Amino acid sequence: MTDNDHPYSESATAGGLVFLSGCLPEESAAPYADADELLDAAMATVERRLRAAGGTLADIVKLTYFVTDIALREAANRQYTRLWDEPRPARTVIGVSSLPRNSAVELDAVARETATGGPIEYA
Assess contact for 111 and 18: CB atoms under 8 A.
Answer: yes
Residues 6+ apart with CB under 8 A from 86: none
Average pLDDT over the chain reads 88
* pLDDT tens column, 75-114: 999 999 999 999 999 999 999 999 998 899 999 999 999 8
Surface-to-core class of residue 46, CB atoms within 10 Å of its CB (0-12 exposed, 13-18 middle, 19+ buried): buried
Q: What is the pTM of this model?
A: 0.87
Lowest mean pLDDT among 7-11, 44-48, 103-107: 7-11
Is residue 67 pLDDT above 50, yes or no?
yes
Q: In angstroms, rounded to a whole number, what is the distance separating the alpha carbons of residues 57 and 46?
A: 8
Show me where the domains of the chain are located.
11-112
Between the alpha carbon of residue 94 and those of residues 2, 9, 15, 116, the distances in Å are 26, 23, 26, 30
- 11-112, CATH topology level: 60s Ribosomal Protein L30; Chain: A; (3.30.1330)
Assess contact for 76 and 93: CB atoms under 8 A.
Answer: yes
